[in-house]
Structure 1
Amino acid sequence: MGLKKYIVFSILLIILIFGYVFSVEPGEYKITVLDISLTLPVAVWVILPLIVLFIGSVSHMVYYSLKSYLKYRSITKDEENVMQSIKAYLLQKGDKTTFKTKAFKDLTNILSQVNFEVKKDTTFTTSNDEINKIVSLIKDINNGVYVQDKTIKLDPTSKLAHQNLLNKINAEIDFCVEVLKKPMNYSSDVIKQAFLNVVEEKSMTTVKKLYENVTLDKEMGKKLFEKSAKNPDFAIINEEVIKITKNLEYDKNDFLDLAKLFKDSFQPDDLISLFEDLSKEIECSTEAYFYVLFEFEMIDKIRELLNTYPDEDFLAFRAMIDLKDSGKQYSLENLCYRS
């Protein structure tokens, strides 16, 4: 029986009892307690216990109904909060949701200690459309798609936001330029990818304006030199090549690779000038300088330079000179002069 029905029928019962007793005994009855007297109809005295019982029972039912309602409301609210927590964990955000019921507190405590990762090769479906959308966007980000949907607010410090930033780097070349203009605002891997993209897609003129803003590693330096080799008319000047190779701590093999990279694109005089300057500044580049001189058959210049070094230095190049003097033709590529 519902509370409303109970109240209605209880009141009807009290009225009926009152009416019946009053019809049988319409007189009054006096009660005296501590000099206080109260005179009421007999029928009223009869229904007073019923009224007290009625009020008590209704109060009891209201109390437990309210308690049950509040518990149900807490559970419903916690169910909603769990969904919010799952969304936060999926988006790699800190979850500040509070829970009222112990079961949900325990559940979210477990969830907070588990890494949430969306599997790439599986179909994800739930009855919650918002979570379905979030998972779909996460999959796009993990697959290299730049997601601009502002309905999902990524934590800037999360791996997901970082990956989306890299996706943006690969999607928008003009954004790469902006990154290189203000590299202090970005992490090293973002800067590196932006630089590689700019070198790949922008003109040498643009590259020359931007590369000094960043700290190069050897891969970045190689891409820059490859770009310079393809654009000899706008190539990096000798002083900058010296500065870059010094900063990157090039060894002799790195300089030999650089000489091979530049030999087919630079004018002979320009290439010789570059490696002559390098050899004066960086000792381990001297072997690459000899390599360049051999490429352009500058034998007299090589003899002159070799005479300035001890006989045990640059044996491969001395052997080349001896072979040429004996009329035998070998290229440097045929000799093992690289260690």
Structure 2
Amino acid sequence: MVFRYYPLAILILGILTGIYVYNLTDVSFAYTLPFSEITYDMPVAIYIVMIIFVFFLLSLVFLFSERLSKFLESKALKNDKKTFVAKIKNRIIERSDEKLVLKTELFKEIDSIFEGLDIAPKPHYANCTNKDIKKLFAMYENLQNGEEIDVYKFNIPQTSTIFTMNIKNSIIKNYKNGLPILKNKNYIYELKKFAFMALLNNADSKEIEKYKDSISYDRDISLALIEAYFNKKVNFNLQELSNICKNAKFSKEDYLFCAKSMKNNSNPSDLIKLFEYLSDNDDLAENAYFYILLELEMLEEVKSRLRTQPNYEFINVRAYLDLKSVGKSYPTDLFFS
């Protein structure tokens, strides 16, 4: 039965039942209300009709409560869908929002799985049907292609990887875009480092000098500064260079890497002077200094310096000299790895 015809059907049923019962018997029945002296004396047929209508009212309450429950559940699912999409957007742009709370068990279960996953937009994905998420996909692809975006349009926080990528794209286009970052304490070290490396690679010595003290030096920056020193783009004395290396906690391998990187594009005398000073101030630089001396065929200097070292130290250098003494010649790099 269609629901809209239900009240009419009950009404007809009640009237017909009342008429039928009344024709069977016209007996009346007196009913006194509880805690009252009011008494109703009505035919039995009326009481039966009243019972039918009470049943009708109770059935309406049941039906409407069920429909209301389904309506509220449907509304909660719709609200949770919007909330979940918002959580996906926040995950993409790496924004946290504790106000986004899911209420239905279905979406709570999905969210518990979602929170345990690392997600990132798939490149060139065009099948997303949600307009807001689709815009974020397009934005992310533009970033990966080296373009700049309006981070404020997408409400992207400064702590987001997307924000960092956008700043880097801006600096790649023009290193000068990174200069304000070097003077701003609010930016993360990763961005400051990127801006400083771009400055070293693109600016002249005068501009580099203005900003060289605006950042702390890690291993990568220290290596780049030493290269810039040999390219006459930055001014340091030997003590400053030694301090830079030690503050960056250069290892034996770092010093050697530096020596290998600088040997072909540096003045030999400057190279010797630097690594002699470095080795005198840090034992970890000794192996790199031997490498430079052997590359420049300064064997007597190597032998003289080896005499100050224990016999079990620098076996690689001693092996090279032994082979050299019997006429064997091998690339220096074979003994320094």
Match of 1:108 among 101, 107, 111: 111
Name the CA distance, whole Å, in 2 between partners of 1:64 and 1:206. 75
Name the CA distance, whole Å, in 2 between partners of 1:99 and 1:199. 49
**What is the number of equivalent residue pairs in this alignment?**
292
TM-score by length of 2: 0.65
Letter in 1 for 2:52: L
Letter in 2 for 1:7: P
Name the CA distance, whole Å, in 2 between partners of 1:162 and 1:256. 32
The 1:141–1:257 alpha-carbon spacing in structure 2 relative to 1, beyond 3 Å, is closer
Tell me which residue corresponds to 1:242: 239
The 1:260–1:242 alpha-carbon spacing in structure 2 relative to 1, beyond 3 Å, is farther
> 1:93 Cα deviation (Å)?
3.7
TM-score by length of 1: 0.65
> 1:203 Cα deviation (Å)?
2.8
Deviation digits for residues 147-183 of structure 1 (CA, Å, limit 9, x no counterpart):
224342334434444333433433453331112223x
Name the CA distance, whole Å, in 1 between partners of 2:11 and 2:171. 77
Name the CA distance, whole Å, in 2 between partners of 1:156 and 1:91. 10
Name the CA distance, whole Å, in 2 between partners of 1:75 and 1:281. 68
Q: Report if the CA contact (8 A) 1:89-1:95 is conserved.
A: no
Tell me which residue corresponds to 1:145: 147
> 1:12 Cα deviation (Å)?
4.9
Name the CA distance, whole Å, in 1 between partners of 2:196 and 2:183. 11
> 1:256 Cα deviation (Å)?
9.3
Tell me which residue corresponds to 2:193: 192
Tell me whether 1:209 sits opposite 2:210 in the alignment: yes
Kindly name which structure, 1 or 2, has the bigger radius of gyration based on alpha carbons.
1
Deviation digits for residues 90-133 of structure 1 (CA, Å, limit 9, x no counterpart):
3334464333332222122111111112333x533121111111
Q: Does the residue aligned with 1:113 lie in a helix, a strand or coil?
A: coil
Which consecutive unaligned segments of at least 5 residues does structure 2 have? 308-330
> 1:223 Cα deviation (Å)?
3.8
Tell me which residue corresponds to 1:181: 183
Q: Report if the CA contact (8 A) 1:91-1:154 is conserved.
A: yes
1:1-339 correspondence runs (5 A): 1-14=1-14, 20=19, 29-33=28-32, 37-40=39-42, 44-94=46-96, 96=98, 97-120=100-123, 122-182=124-184, 184-217=185-218, 219-224=220-225, 226-227=227-228, 236=235, 239=237, 241-249=238-246, 261=265, 263=267, 283=280, 312-313=304-305
Letter in 2 for 1:174: K
The 1:277–1:67 alpha-carbon spacing in structure 2 relative to 1, beyond 3 Å, is closer
Letter in 1 for 2:187: Y
The 1:14–1:84 alpha-carbon spacing in structure 2 relative to 1, beyond 3 Å, is same
> 1:66 Cα deviation (Å)?
1.2
Name the CA distance, whole Å, in 1 between partners of 2:85 and 2:277. 67
The 1:211–1:30 alpha-carbon spacing in structure 2 relative to 1, beyond 3 Å, is same
Letter in 1 for 2:242: T
Q: Does the residue aligned with 2:213 lie in a helix, a strand or coil?
A: helix
Q: Does the residue aligned with 1:31 lie in a helix, a strand or coil?
A: strand
Cα root mean square deviation, aligned: 4.6
Tell me which residue corresponds to 1:298: none
Q: Report if the CA contact (8 A) 2:178-2:195 is conserved.
A: yes
> 1:197 Cα deviation (Å)?
0.9
